[in-house]
Amino acid sequence: MNYAALNTKISAIYAKTIKTDIALEMLEKSKRTEAIDVLNTRLGLTLDKNAELYDVNLVLESAFFNKLKSLLHYMSGADRKFYELILERYTIRDIKRVLRTIVHAHDPEGLKETLLGLDPDKVPTKDEFTVEAFIKKLQGTVYARPLIVYKDMGQDEMLFYMEMTLDKIYYDSLHRAFDDLSTKSVRYAKDLIEQHIDLLNLKYMIRAKRTYHVIPEALINFLLEGGTLSYKKLKAMALLDQETFEEKLKQSRHAHLLEGRVENIDIKLARELYANCQTVYGKSGFDMGKLISLTLLFELTARDISTVLQGQSLGFFSGRIRELIAIPIKEGEVWQ
């Protein structure tokens, strides 16, 4: 495969979208309309200055997704097949979005327009907008049977179990797919995905023990294989009671995940993932490292841009919004 051509294209996209720290430039603006001006200028968009957050997210996510899909043009063989599997994360994201809309009883109007990986016809009609109806629509995919077993649980617990199940299906498939690729082509990409799997495993264990009180034997079934932490070690951690588990985690490099409220875990994980992506992007050469880094950085950048605009709409001080952004905080940064 011609990694020179692929990386040239990736570098051009990276320079325009990631390297400039768009979210931080938007955060410097005192008005939301000025922040959208920055977004339009940097990404070549034509958003109305007073665009609703929903419309911004829709345009931004679609633009990023289309850029990633365009990179398939430069790929072939096993590498192309693997990246198509990587992009299946957008289908997982869409399934989670539909499930959350149902569970949280949000209006499904316009939901189909937000889907990027999932066939919109899989979304049930408004008259039968239930989890069971959605799973029925998913029949014929690898997702229906594993999800159906949780349909009779309480709503929040059901959503938690289903999201863990979806992640397990996705990352287990990636773990198996690495065997079909040359070690050289996926060396750095594999490192990045392994680190991401570690973070997801720790997130689910913390939430399972702190919030949902999942019994250890059940938690074991959701552990993701393929990270740097061995399955044996993960299983031993899952079997610990909450107090002992947290004591051991406090003695590791992931101790910071336990600081503050459990709701802040996603922000901490996003920030650590962002730093890992930047590291891999910088040292990757003729391999898939830059491609996988860009894919994950796009998700984090879209999240940060949305966070900035939402915070500005709510009148938050820039310092408070900065705390919610995935871009790692640099020494000497000062926000009001």
Please check whether residue 78 lies inside any domain of the structure: yes
pLDDT tens-digit readout, 248-268: 999 998 998 888 777 789 999
For position 186, what pLDDT does the model report?
A: 86
Query: Cβ-count burial of 194 within 10 angstroms (0-12 exposed, 13-18 middle, 19+ buried)?
Result: middle
Please check whether residue 330 lies inside any domain of the structure: no
Interatomic CA distance for residues 131 and 156, integer angstroms: 12
**Helical H segments across the chain, by residue range:** 3-17, 22-27, 32-43, 53-70, 77-86, 89-103, 131-137, 144-148, 155-177, 183-207, 216-220, 231-238, 242-250, 265-283, 289-313, 318-322
Residue of 231, 228, 229, 209 lying closest to 218 (CA atoms): 209
Please check whether residue 165 lies inside any domain of the structure: yes
Distances (CA, A) of 62 to 51, 90, 146, 272, 299: 16, 11, 28, 25, 11
Tokens of 49: 């200055």
| Residue at 173: amino acid letter | S
Please check whether residue 327 lies inside any domain of the structure: no
DSSP 3-state assignment of 105? coil
Please check whether residue 333 lies inside any domain of the structure: no
Distances (CA, A) of 307 to 92, 264, 311: 21, 14, 6
- Taking the complete model, does pTM exceed 0.85, yes or no? yes
- Residues 114 and 95: beta-carbon distance below 8 Å: no
For position 334, what pLDDT does the model report?
A: 78
Per-block mean pLDDT, blocks of 10 residues, the chain (336 long) = 90 94 95 96 95 95 96 93 96 98 94 96 95 96 96 93 96 89 86 93 93 90 92 94 94 88 87 95 92 97 97 95 94 81
DSSP state at residue 139: B
User: What residue numbers bound the domain in which 31 lies?
Assistant: 3-322
- Residues 65 and 299: beta-carbon distance below 8 Å: no
> Tokens 């989890």 appear where?
131
Please check whether residue 336 lies inside any domain of the structure: no
Please check whether residue 334 lies inside any domain of the structure: no
DSSP state at residue 127: G
Interatomic CA distance for residues 98 and 67, integer angstroms: 24
Residue of 15, 20, 54, 62 lying closest to 39 (CA atoms): 20
pLDDT tens-digit readout, 129-138: 999 999 999 9
* Counted domains in the chain: 1
For position 264, what pLDDT does the model report?
A: 86
Half-sphere exposure of 110 (CA within 13 A, CB side): 6
